[in-house]
Structure 1
Amino acid sequence: AIPADAEFVVHLGDIKTGSTPCDEAVYKKVFGMLRQSKAPVFIIPGDNEWNDCTDPDQAWRLWERYFMRFDRRWQHALPVIRQWEHEENFSFVTGGVLFVGLNIVGGRVHDAAEWKRRHAADLDWVRRNLRRFGAEVNSLVILGHARPVQNHSDFFDPFTQDALKFQKPILYIHGDGHLWIYDRPFAARNILRVQVDQGGIAPPLKVTVTGDKTTPFQFDRRNGQPAK
């Protein structure tokens, strides 16, 4: 269950397994499930429901139909802004933290030119937000789907340089791998990377941004229950 005190919820992609068809009924079912949340929900695209589908273009149309600007289905006061070129990319500042959501997926490179353009747009979106809000916030949280591996280096390499200049704590939190990882794989040591557990077997991860420089992010993987 979603923690009752959650200010907002983010789904980090993969609304279905990679082996199941990309049928509209799946998108509709997940739409209904997430709509039950009391807190507003933001959704990051995942490869299983887009680029790994047999027809990625049709899958993207379904994603847009059910999940684009999903948070608007709730009344909330988060000051959300969206990237004009990629409306699935969003950002907002709350509690002294800049949150940035990106369409950066794992899986199959279905269109190399599209990947290159999208990664450039992702980097531009992060940089625009850092220019606008970087001086006033205490930390940055990047929300994505993809693991930081080689076929995303055109985003992560320059982002790492930006992180070094930013200096403040950064959390890159993502899905895709479905196993818990907590590490610092980047040259910029102010970036903490977390890969979340598989949603089907674990409760939602509760993240608390503390504002404390030594422990800026706290994680509850078991919804307050002891790990088994």
Structure 2
Amino acid sequence: MRRADVVLAALVLAAFVSPAVAAEPVGGERAFSFVALGDMPYSVPADYARFDRLIAAVNRLRPAFSIHVGDTKSGSTACTDAAFQTVLDQFRTFEQPLVYAIGDNEWTDCHRTGSDPRERLARVRQMFFPDPEKSLGRAPMAVESQARAMPEFARHVENARFAKNDVLFVTLHVVGSNNGFETFDPAAATEYFERNRANLAWLAASFAKARESHARAVVVAFQANLWDIRDSVGTIPPASGFRDTIVAIEREARAFAKPVLVIQGDYHTLEVTGFRDTRMRLVPGIQRLQVMGETEVHAVRVVVDPDMPGVFSFVPLIVPENETP
């Protein structure tokens, strides 16, 4: 993490952290809040109780909705239907709507425990998206699914969008492990190219919708840290499974020319920074929120005020009982 990013994160969090977080958002008449979380429950079954405590804290907060950016278990644990069902049952205890973006640990990494990744992805889609036009949670809300809006991508039931108070929310299926792009595995590469094409089409169509509807801001949520491969090579190479997503987000955000927030997980620590292009330069107008996860079973409350210049502010939602020694 670069020093400039650390400073920005510290300034943003210092400005908005308060000792007691009220259920009502702070801001104008159209302000609202939602909760962002991901990479949990991770160490199962031990983390199930910690996740339940976090869900209870979210329910007390009464956000408009929550967004889980995937990785509902670690990459080394079994990818069984029973494991999926346990988390799905927990998702159903969110009292407000819950929008879920699929993570890599749910399928891409399932070869580690002897499962077929593509078969497991099909099962996740079947179990978590039985009605692609509804969110999860006890009080599901309507969402627009790419599977219905773009029949040529009927398989991609997980990509969704919805709007609230002139802010458009978009989920994409972009995951860790280089976005599932394995050049030595033809089946994995074929799956990646199809899903990548769907993601790019959904992103472009969603930003077009935002421009047409004069949206005040756009939120894009998915699992992967897009700069993961940069840790070893110093830049984003052409072979990266994330390069197309970075380029597309930058292009669409520049054309939109209004605030954009990208929410992702993958690295398990809280960061609020700028968004960087493939040469690691900051892109104007885009904020990046990386949520906590793994051992940090906490979340982030995002306050959205469409009538304020920056639109977004952030408050960590910490569950003291979940703190690790």
Taking structure 1 as the reference length, what is the TM-score of the superposition? 0.89
**Counterpart selection for 1:192 from 287, 296, 301:** 287
Query: What do the CA deviations read for 1:14-66 (whole angstroms, capped 9, x no partner)?
Result: 00011111111110110111111101111111011111111102211331232
Instruction: Provide the residue aligned with 2:48 in structure 1.
Output: none
CA distance in 1, matches of 2:84, 2:255: 40
Higher share in helix: 2
Instruction: Provide the residue aligned with 1:202 in structure 2.
Output: 297
Instruction: Provide the residue aligned with 1:23 in structure 2.
Output: 80
Q: Which shifted more, 25-34 or 207-216?
A: 207-216
Structure 2 residue 157 is matched with structure 1 residue 62: no
**Counterpart selection for 1:88 from 158, 173, 177:** 158
Alignment check: 8 A CA contact 2:260 2:286 kept: yes
Q: Secondary structure at the match of 2:135?
A: helix
**Counterpart selection for 2:194 from 100, 106, 117:** 117
CA distance in 2, matches of 1:170, 1:162: 10
Taking structure 2 as the reference length, what is the TM-score of the superposition? 0.64
Q: 1 or 2 for the larger relative contact order (CA 8 Å, sep ≥6)?
A: 2
Q: 1:90 to 1:145 in 2, by over 3 A?
A: same
Structure 2 residue 224 is matched with structure 1 residue 146: yes
Counterpart residue type for residue 80 of structure 1: V
CA distance in 2, matches of 1:139, 1:73: 25
Consecutive unaligned residues of structure 2, counting only runs of 5 or more, are 1-56, 148-152, 183-187, 228-235, 277-281
Instruction: Provide the residue aligned with 1:160 in structure 2.
Output: 250
Query: What do the CA deviations read for 1:187-228 (whole angstroms, capped 9, x no partner)?
Result: 431111111011652322111112244432111112598xx9
Q: Which has the larger radius of gyration?
A: 2
Indicate the RMSD between aligned Cα atoms, in angstroms.
2.1
Following TM superposition, by how much is the alpha carbon of 1:73 offset from its aligned partner in structure 2, in angstroms?
Answer: 6.0
Q: Which shifted more, 192-201 or 37-46?
A: 192-201
Alignment check: 8 A CA contact 1:10 1:42 kept: yes
Alignment check: 8 A CA contact 1:169 1:213 kept: no
Instruction: Provide the residue aligned with 1:71 in structure 2.
Output: 135
Q: 1:127-138 counterparts in 2 under 5 A?
A: 127-135=204-212, 136-138=214-216
Following TM superposition, by how much is the alpha carbon of 1:164 offset from its aligned partner in structure 2, in angstroms?
Answer: 0.8
Alignment check: 8 A CA contact 1:27 1:63 kept: yes
Aligned residues: 225
**Counterpart selection for 2:109 from 44, 52, 73:** 52
**Percent of residue pairs bearing the same amino acid type:** 28
